[in-house]
Structure 1
Amino acid sequence: MERDSGARAVLVAAMSSGQGKTSVTAALARKLVRQGQRVRVFKCGPDFIDPMLLERASSAPVHTLDLWMVGVDECRRRLHDAARECDAILVEGVMGLYDGSPSAADLAREFGIPVLAVIDASAMAQTAGAVARGLRDYGPVDMAGVIANRIASEGHAKMVASSLRDIPLLGWLQRQDTPLPERHLGLVTPDDVDGLEALLDKLADGLQFEEAAWNALPLLAQSAPEWEDVPSLLAGRTVAIARDAAFCFLYPANLDLLRQMGATLRFFSPLNDEPVPPDADAVFLPGGYPELHGATLSQAARWQDSIRAAHAQGLPIVAECGGMMAVAGAITDKEGRRWPMAGLLPGEVTMQARLAGLGAQAMPTPQGPLRGHTFHYSRLETQVPALSHTVKTSTGGAGEAVFRIGSLNASYFHGYFPSNPPAVAALFGGARS
């Protein structure tokens, strides 16, 4: 089919978490892809898990849009590039439409993206109209329409549609016998879901979608500044990056920035007992779920010996959240089992039921603040004094501890690298490049 000049874009939002935003976004992305459209999905706010699933649904990398962490200019550039390259842009919101500061509604208004409201109609009918109108008028936001989730029948869908008045029902998704699993403490990644591809296809099949209403949406108009040149602060350096089921929390933009600064990236798997590559000049241990793989990691002697050797040689090591847990003395998992780890950071990590850290934070560096966030259910007990603490954006108070032991820089903090390239270059030993 002939391609329009530009892309139709919606921000998929809801009144709260648990309404089915991810299922609807995944179903719509897969449905549009199967129609031959080029689809780009973004995630609003810090998140690692939903983007993994949405990448599978759309067959394209999923980047983060966040007015504070990513910044207005980079968000605009990414949307502008997507509008030039694809036919449809889906931005999945976070929590409720107006939750947080900045909220998903703030992002929608900043870039003129209409909101597609997901409403769980499993326990309502005509009240859906009140919810939709409230979501539209409270801000207000430009409302593209509604997709009703967990619909029991076509008659149920018609009741919802009649209640919306001047807001179109763009589609509805029937109740699923095998829905996407709800997160339990965030512990669901695409690799945890058996038959995910078939499940995504089933979701797309179950989405009743008004194509005429979709095609009536305006094309996204963007006027973005050009991308700024990134200095080659890591030219000639090789950065080894742990990447497997235990170390899977990686922003695509972080990897892109390392490459743009001239670094060669080498990936390796501690879970497969792969050592740090011998040509590495620096090591990045991202977050993930090492606590779910404690037995395997505790017996991965080659991996543990190699990271100790890298530390002894003075290679810069950046360990974020799960990466920090893996280089602590030991991890005690939710079942109370203690697993010895690499021991670069003296101390014990213990999993707990309650959330221990959440929110946007900034890490101070000599090159200025590096923006990012924290989210973890474990606690670290150590006698090592903190080099510094991150700053909570919500209160300005002290956030996560940042530890420096020799060449190791470790914290629960997840950094968004493009927010401060010189600081990132310095962390990986490229400050003098």
Structure 2
Amino acid sequence: MPDCPALFISAPASGQGKTTITAGLARHHRRQGRRVRVFKTGPDFLDPMILERASGAPVMSLDLWMVGETACRELLAQAAEHADLILIEGVMGLYDGTPSSADLAAAFGVPVVAVISAKAMAQTFGAVAFGLAHYRPDVAVRGVFANRVGSPRHAQMLEESVPTGMSWMGSISSTADIELPDRHLGLHQAAEIADLDRRLDLAADALASTPLAALPPAVRFVSLSNPSPSAAPLPRLLDGAHIAVARDAAFSFIYPANLALLEALGARVSFFSPLADEAAPETGTALYLPGGYPELHAAALASNARAAASVRAHAAAGKPIFAECGGMLYLLESLTTIDGATTPMLGLLPGEVRMQKRFAALGMQQLDGPLGTLTGHTFHYSHVSTPLTPVLHATRPQSDTAGEAVYRSGSIVATYMHSYWPSNPAFTAALFHGKAF
């Protein structure tokens, strides 16, 4: 298999504009007729929505712990077989977390370009770039790109500060027409940004004349050949299953790899929208209610009787329901927003949830059961009060502190944790057969 051009876009911290630059770069090369595959480092549902719109292809997660190094290598190798360019967007700062973006870049030998927000900064830009490049010798930080530059003279000072051995990859100015809007859990969802394609095109236009868009040979090539041997075909553990997935603006935190796994296991996957008052299909053998933003749509969800009745009927029939984070909130008795407004939810799980201004939990977690370990993560701004006794608690890979509770009530299994199902296909199949706990 030939080598594929690949580039890792990272930064010294969150909020530097990694997603804007990565998305603009993907859109630029797509407009040039190239097949672009973008990956996102770590657990994330929101950035991949933007990156998928920009590139025109699904965006998979890469994480050495949650996904695993072997699976990451296979995903990259599969993309390299068909892509003209691979872009990987990092998470947080380059060296933040365990494992970090730097760990991922080093594991696969992907060269890094650091995006640094230069607002209110001049020659210190070079010092930051120097630190990123020299902190670890196994991480190839080859170039630096300046975001939010104030003027041509400002860009000149920044370029002159770049240390020897690093490439100046260009700059773009700060403009509201390009910046992507965000809220408490991160960027707005792609479908919620009415002018997203215009923003992506403007970002692509701004990047088109920069060295970054040209991808000079000094920073572009990486060998992704000789992947690990492909795993054996998956057993058809969900043959005959019909799994109905809630998917809309209220329930959208779905890993593409999770849906692909269900189909690989033999399940038929269909979608319905509680927000549009669509009923879950009666032929469904199991329901999946993913995370999302039910708190932003509480009134609509409460008034959509047809969707609610179908979920209640599914539970009454004893069919499995697996609910994660926002999906779990939808099943509780009530939801109270930050401003104190309380809205009734489905009442299939006893208890209530209250939203809060600061996050309640953040980080990688795993479930350990009879079928092994299922990896995932948690990130939420709410607190659930329920009389239910957990059947299990998740654990944290780097802490003895208990993780998220897993609740079971009848055929319903619910938790705050977002699972990455390919980490344990047998565990996943058991969830949708109602036999995991």
Structures share fold, TM-score greater than 0.5: yes
Extract unaligned runs of 5+ from structure 2: none
Question: More deviation in 65-74 or 220-229?
Answer: 220-229
| TM-score normalised by length of structure 2 | 0.95
Distance 1:246 1:414 in 2: 15
- Which among 347, 354, 357 is matched to residue 353 of structure 1? 357
Q: Which runs of 5+ in 1 are unaligned?
A: none
Question: What is the aligned partner in structure 2 of residue 191 from structure 1?
Answer: 191
2:232 alignment counterpart = 228
State the alpha-carbon separation in 2 of the partners of residues 166 and 215 from structure 1: 14
2:165 counterpart of 1:173: no
Aligned-pair CA distance for 1:48: 0.5
Which one-letter code corresponds to 2:143 in the other structure?
G
Equivalent runs, 1:91-240 vs 2, <5 Å: 91-140=88-137, 141-164=139-162, 165-186=164-185, 188-207=188-207, 208-210=209-211, 212-216=214-218, 217-225=220-228, 226-240=230-244
Q: Note the C-alpha offset of 1:127.
A: 2.1
Kindly indicate whether the alpha-carbon contact (under 8 Å) linking 1:161 and 1:168 is maintained by their aligned counterparts in 2. Answer: no
- Asked whether the 8 Å contact 1:328–1:349 carries over to 2, the reply is yes
Which digits, 9 at most, give the CA deviation of each residue in 1:306-330, with x for residues without a partner? 1111111110110000000001111
Matching of residue 287 in structure 1 with residue 295 in structure 2: no
Partner amino acid, structure 2, of 1:120: S
Pairing 1:299–2:303 present: yes
Whole-Å separation in 2 of the counterparts to 1:220 and 1:196: 33
C-alpha separation in 2, matches of 1:329 and 1:354: 23
Shift in Å at residue 222 of structure 1?
A: 2.9
**Cα gap change, 1:431/1:399 in structure 2, threshold over 3 Å: closer, same or farther?**
closer
Matches within 5 A, 1:29-48: 29-48=26-45
Deviations 1:119-147 (A, max 9, x none): 11122232222111110110131023111
TM-score between the two structures when normalised by the length of structure 1: 0.96
Aligned partners of 2:234 and 2:264 also within 8 Å: yes
Superposed CA RMSD in Å reads 1.6
1:87 maps to 84
| Cα 1:124/1:324, change in 2 over 3 Å | same
Q: Deviations over 1:130-189 (max 9, x none)?
A: 111110110131023111111223332232222212211122122213232342212621
Deviates most, 66-75 or 191-200: 191-200
- The size of the alignment, in residue pairs, is 429
- Letter of the 1:391 partner, please give it: T
SS at match of 1:427: helix
Paired letter, 1:221: L
CA distance in 1, matches of 2:172, 2:35: 22
Counterpart Cα distance in 2 of 1:69 and 1:167: 32
- Structure 2 distance, partners of 1:338, 1:191, is 27
Identity of aligned residues (%): 50
Q: Which residue of structure 1 aligns with residue 388 of structure 2? A: 384
Amino acid at match of 1:154: P
More deviation, 157-166/312-321: 157-166
Q: Give 1:265's aligned amino acid.
A: V
Separation (CA, whole Å) in 2 of partners of 1:68 and 1:20? 25
- Following superposition, the deviation at residue 256 of structure 1 comes to 0.2
Query: 1:345-394: per-residue Cα shift (whole Å, max 9, x none)?
Result: 10001111111111000012220121000000011001111111100122
